[in-house]
Structure 1
């Protein structure tokens, strides 16, 4: 009996410490924040669209191959697997030619093994982790992740979106299959803002004021498509999405691998449905993380009762992230439609003003709906007790999923 009591006491102490650590860490982080979100100016660039890993990696590797001054790479995940080792080889080749190469990946989720890390460093490549675990708020900093995916080549070409570096993004994970994602390539004015964000993230980890050097901001011509970027640091994204949703008059498309919107966004969506706005949500049928699907069910059930349409993508895994409203608002980037992206992660999204590019995104989502099945209220009502039990667990930790 004493042993059981001591075990429960220890668990309670651990729970209390984790909760206190998280709450104090969150409060401290909010107090230290300056401007958030960071809204970059409208820029005119030439923008290319990718929604398959094959097309993305082909263009990505070709652009890096052409680099003559610098390559700056920031990914949430960068594995030393088949595609990752090919990228490591290419970066080492460019470094041997005198090109400055910087690689920044998330400290917890990055996926880079020691062999890959050593190969990069031994080749003279500047390698660093982002969002390291920091004292005194260890548990909170453990959950603070840099989820951005940004690459800049010679200050003239930039990439941003949802793809990371790993074989699964080429559909090579047998459990997930084909991988759908959205990514954008920029050449023109917008690249300077991607550069500024990368160098700001890099400088934060190294206390280096490198982001003002002129070599990283060459003169570039205006492109044809108007966009701007929004960078968030665990604050501002939820408010931006809620404000955009409130302006909807006709339709809203939400595409995301995870749907855990929280009470603020959920209430805004329900209010929009009551105003007659048509809302369609596109999610994956398969899951790549435990409990994230169960965490969405209570939100989806309420929205279905209010008239929303929900689709589950069947042809592989759906990792694309987009919010479209009334043919006038289009957001594509790294942020998921969940509380982690709203309140914990560093994210970087693109706001698209160009009509042609807008309809490219819209057409892609509508095509993916055809490869999906529609979720019904009956589907959710018939879910077994085991699923409902996991929902209870998921709801208690939904901010961390």
Structure 2
């Protein structure tokens, strides 16, 4: 009988958790996808790149709402059972509250494992994969970013300006400035220009103009009646390098261990092929590792908070006040959890404390359960 009871309530919790996390995730994903339209409208990337990028952002959204969905699911199901007097039936069947609590604490370890897998492996991989689509994409919608009488500088080191577009699609009085490097640049003027696409290569065909080259302070100029200007060699100004959130967890661990063992203090050192592994970036590495490997451990504590609802029955005159206090405590804790990464620094002792803090909190709340239930008598 006890196995049936545990199986039913745990199944209800899982089902409601999946419903909550995916419903909230899809709502946030849709709202975020609207913002990502900038990749097409402003940066010139194609809709296929846009779709892949937004789709791969979904794991990150799920990982962020995971703690909230966990508490919401377990608290809702426990209160639902209480309101239907089903929890009273459990106690009358001889199920002790402490055994009930022990079951859910053990059950929570599955969610901890899922959260660890999501934060440490799936989300970083998905984010890096999404960034790779941008790195490898060309300016599929180059024409969409061209606006008359507006300086367009979203294309790498190139700035474009033109006066207007005529009915034939020609750009009138176009200005191009290419920043080759810090000392070299090329400025091109043309009366008209057309856009040609061939073999996935975009080319501006410039007519009746001149180019001015500035090479190490030396100015040279040449005129042309027609010339080709390859646009496909330029990328978007969208961030292309791998960010720390996209770095594999194993690389971040290797980076932190290297600096822990090494006595090197040069700020600009970078370790092998590990991206973002620099001494000046070490604090960010620790914060990212905390978010991926420590935050998931708080899942057990959040489920334990929801178990506080079983300490009082709905017939108790203080039930509603108690319910309000539990919800308030849980939401304040979730806010703390979201901002707790700011407490991580390069101080290893401080980081160690915050790494074991979720275990300390879980132990404290478990001792609170033992005290409240008077385990020796119940």
| Normalised TM-score (structure 2) | 0.24
Pair member with larger Rg: 2
Structure with more helix by fraction = 2
Structure with more strand by fraction = 1
